[in-house]
Amino acid sequence: MSRIAVFPGSFDPFTKGHECIIEKALGLFDEVVIAIGQNTSKKYLFPLENRKAHIKSIFENNKRVRVEVFTGLTVTFCKEINADYIVRGLRDSKDFGYERSIAQMNHEISGIESVFFMTVPEYTAINSTIVREIHKSRGSIDLFVTNADILVK
């Protein structure tokens, strides 16, 4: 039985912080599915197709990483693909407070466990909201995003 984990998020955009969480999760799981959640009432800066192509490009040489798009509950998607774990990243105590509630409720409704990885110190400040602001103001996001050219084309 292979251990499959889902790393869900909006990834608008997928940053080096997210990338580091995947590298850590690969040490524990056989397969990690990066699941881009599409919420119809939410507005995204980067189009879905660009976000998907961008993440795929980063992991194109890694057969243990897959990129999927889902709508609805994360736990429903996990059941669909036989994943028993959700992976999330923690930068600080604010992330922890928020993630704890979601993890406990997800466990209550589905039995699926969440596993948390700490960001490496150099990526703790990276935040998708700020990366979007830099891009909107025509600044370079190369320092924070691998293969940024694929995302912005």
Whether 140 sits among the annotated catalytic residues: the reply is no
* List 52, 88, 128, 135, catalytic entry: 128
The residue from 17, 33, 55, 65 that contacts ligand ADP (CB under 6 A) is 17
Nearer to ligand ADP, 1 or 91 (CB): 91
Decide if residue 24 touches ligand ADP (CB under 6 A): no
Beta bridge partners of 129: none
Whether 100 sits among the annotated catalytic residues: the reply is no
Decide if residue 33 touches ligand ADP (CB under 6 A): no
Whether 42 sits among the annotated catalytic residues: the reply is yes
The residue from 106, 123, 131, 148 that contacts ligand ADP (CB under 6 A) is 123
Distance CA 12, CA 130 (A): 11
Distance CA 134, CA 137 (A): 5
The residue from 18, 51, 52, 54 that contacts ligand ADP (CB under 6 A) is 18
Distance CA 22, CA 98 (A): 20
Whether 41 sits among the annotated catalytic residues: the reply is no
Amino acid at the residue 132:
R
Distance CA 141, CA 144 (A): 6
- Tokens found for residue 116: 């948390």
Q: How far is the CB of 138 from ligand ADP (least distance, A)?
A: 22
* List 2, 42, 43, 137, catalytic entry: 42
Residues 6+ apart with CB under 8 A from 12: 44, 45, 46, 51, 128, 132
- Preceding peptide of 121 cis, ω within 30°: no
The catalytic site residues sit at 18, 42, 91, 128
Which residues are at the interface with ligand ADP (CB under 6 A)? 9-11, 15, 17-18, 21, 88-89, 91, 95, 119, 123, 126, 128
